[in-house]
Amino acid sequence: MTTELDSIVGSARDAFAKAATPADLENAKAQFLGKSGRVTELMKGMAQLSVEEKKTRGAAINVAKQAIESALNERRQALADQELEAQLKAEALDVSLPGRLREPGGLHPVSLTMERIEQIFASMGFDVADGPEVESDWHSFTSLNNPPNHPARSMQDTFYVDIKGDDGIPYNLRPHTSPMQVRYAQAHVKKYEGREMPEVRVIAPGRTYRVDSDATHSPMFHQCEGLWLGENVSFKDLKVVFLDFCRTFFETDDLQLRFRPSFFPFTEPSAEIDIQFQSGPLAGKWLEVAGSGQVHPNVVRNMGLDPEKFIGFAFGMGPDRLTMLRYGVNDLRLFFDGDIRFLRQFR
């Protein structure tokens, strides 16, 4: 009798110990204390016993029942403790781990150059303007003394857009920033309506497009136009301004400038501007950095100005090229790959 109860208590303890979760434990409990559990069955079995026997048997069963209940409560507590411990462990913070850094962002190297260019020219009294990248044929070419069917148009491999202008000619992705010469000058003239306009002095940096792609050409690239027109602005001023710009930009006075005769429809005479470093890794090489020239009278006229009164120069330089020279980058495409390992170096 006692041994039977002891063995029930024993197997209850075993079953409780095996229960790995609170749900398992409640199932195990049902096997012993549930409606048809083993202890409950024993109680039912007492019906036929005498009063005397009921007393002793009932007391013994109660003792067993209490033992089972206390084993159950112990196991409940143990499982709850386990769960809490696991949760604490899972949520633990290792304060000795290094932090997850959010890296500071930075400007793209070409943007750094653009800002630099703007600052330097602004300090020399130049206005900074920008304009549309989808241009009319008139602005990109005709206004710049480059009429339809003129052979000089083939100097640039232009992208055309599926939209036609009022003249029936498709719009283009501007192949240079030179249309900004005319756009800016016209707007400037308008602003001075009726008043004496002393000069036009502006740079126009921005994106430009040509059908071209290799290590030193990309279909989208950058240019910065410069224009200075006044009563008596000459090549001499261009040389001073440009040399000053280059020396400030590259932070060296060890730099020479060379004008190499060239041709552009919108300037006459025209020249490529080459620079040469006297020291450093690029020393001794002539490097082409801009096209330039005295603004053609036809262009001055298209600006709404009298070429007898306004004379001066324009230049167009390549900020991508300037960035490559300044930082020693040998492949233009690196600027447009978006590779964080490359870009991070300029932060």
Report the binding-site residues. Answer: 268
Q: Is residue 293 within the footprint of ligand PHE (CB under 6 A)?
A: yes
Instruction: Answer whether 121's CB lies under 8 Å from 227's CB.
Output: no
Distance CA 178, CA 144 (A): 8
The DSSP call for residue 232 is S
Nearer to ligand PHE, 5 or 182 (CB): 182
Nearer to ligand PHE, 160 or 345 (CB): 160
Q: Is residue 316 within the footprint of ligand PHE (CB under 6 A)?
A: yes
CA 284 from chain centre, in angstroms, equals 37
Select the residue interacting with ligand PHE from 241, 314, 322, 329 (CB under 6 A). Answer: 314
* CB of 238 vs ligand PHE, minimal distance in Å: 10
Q: Is residue 178 within the footprint of ligand PHE (CB under 6 A)?
A: yes
Closest CA to 184 of 269, 305, 273: 305
User: Which amino acid makes up residue 25?
Assistant: L
Nearer to ligand PHE, 28 or 272 (CB): 272
* CB of 267 vs ligand PHE, minimal distance in Å: 5
Among positions 236-265, residues that touch ligand PHE (CB under 6 A) are 264
Looking up tokens 């989808």, which residue turns up? 134
Distance CA 323, CA 284 (A): 19
Distance CA 184, CA 113 (A): 22
Q: What sign does the dihedral 223-230-126-328 (CA atoms) show?
A: positive
Give the binding range for ligand PHE (CB under 6 A) out of 18-26, 32-40, 213-221, 288-296. 288-296
Q: For residue 305, which phi and psi values (nearest 5 degrees)?
A: -120, 160
* CB of 246 vs ligand PHE, minimal distance in Å: 16
* CB of 107 vs ligand PHE, minimal distance in Å: 25
* Stretch (H or E) spanning 12: helix 2-18
Select the residue interacting with ligand PHE from 65, 139, 176, 222 (CB under 6 A). Answer: 176
Give the binding range for ligand PHE (CB under 6 A) out of 53-61, 117-125, 195-203, 286-294. 286-294
* Other C-beta atoms lying within 10 Å of the C-beta of residue 247: 16
Q: Is residue 205 within the footprint of ligand PHE (CB under 6 A)?
A: no
Q: Is residue 292 within the footprint of ligand PHE (CB under 6 A)?
A: yes
* CB of 200 vs ligand PHE, minimal distance in Å: 14
CA distance from start to end of the chain: 85
Nearer to ligand PHE, 292 or 323 (CB): 292
Which residue number places its CB atom closest to ligand PHE?
316
Q: Is residue 312 within the footprint of ligand PHE (CB under 6 A)?
A: no
Helices vs. strands in the chain: H and E counts, helices first? 11, 10
Known binding site for Mg(2+): residues? 268
Burial of 170 (0-12, 13-18, 19+ CB in 10 A): middle
* CB of 227 vs ligand PHE, minimal distance in Å: 8
Helix (H, G, I), strand (E, B) or coil at 273: strand
Distance CA 104, CA 302 (A): 47
Select the residue interacting with ligand PHE from 184, 249, 315, 335 (CB under 6 A). Answer: 315
Q: Which residues would be at the binding site for ligand PHE (CB under 6 A)?
A: 176, 178, 264, 267, 270, 291-293, 314-316
